[in-house]
Amino acid sequence: MGFELAGEVEAIGKDVTRYQVGDQVYGSTTTSLGAHAEYLCQPEKGGLAIKPANMSYEEAVAIVEGALTALPFLRDKANVQSGQKVLIEAGQLRAVIDRCYPLEQAIEAHRHVETGHKKGNVVLTIG
C-alpha cells in the first residue's frame, strides 16, 4: 500500500546515472501502490528526487503529498505554465507532523490521538 516514499538507495542498475548507492531520496510511486514495502524498485526517471539534507524523511514524505495534491489545481485549473511565478499565501500555518513515535510505542501514539492532543499528523517510524 501507499504511494509516497522516502529512504536510501540500496542498489542501482548498471545504466543508472542519476542516483548513487547511499543517496537519500523521496518521491512517489506515481500510479502504483507499494511504497510501504521495505524495499521498492523504481525507474531512474520515475517520481524520485534527492532529499534535501536539512529535511527529515517524515518531512520529505509530507512534501510529496502536498505537491501531488496541489499539482492538478496549479497546472490544470489555474493553467500555470513553466517559468511563471505563483504567490501562495499560506495564512496561518500549523504543523503537518505533530509527533513521531517508534513502532514500539504505537499504543502511546494512539493514546495521544484519542485524548485530543493531536494538532497535526502522527507518524509511526519503523527501523
pLDDT > 60? residue 104:
yes
- Can you give the pLDDT at residue 23? 94
Q: Is 47 helix (H, G, I), strand (E, B) or coil?
A: strand
Give residue for cell 499539482. Answer: 71
Which amino acid is located at 107 in the chain? I
pLDDT per position as a tens digit, 107-116: 777 777 777 7
Indicate the pTM of the whole model. Answer: 0.58
pLDDT per position as a tens digit, 45-64: 878 889 999 988 888 888 88
Residues with Cβ within 8 Å of 8's Cβ and at least 6 positions away in sequence, in order, are: 22, 23, 24, 25
pLDDT per position as a tens digit, 6-22: 889 999 999 999 999 99
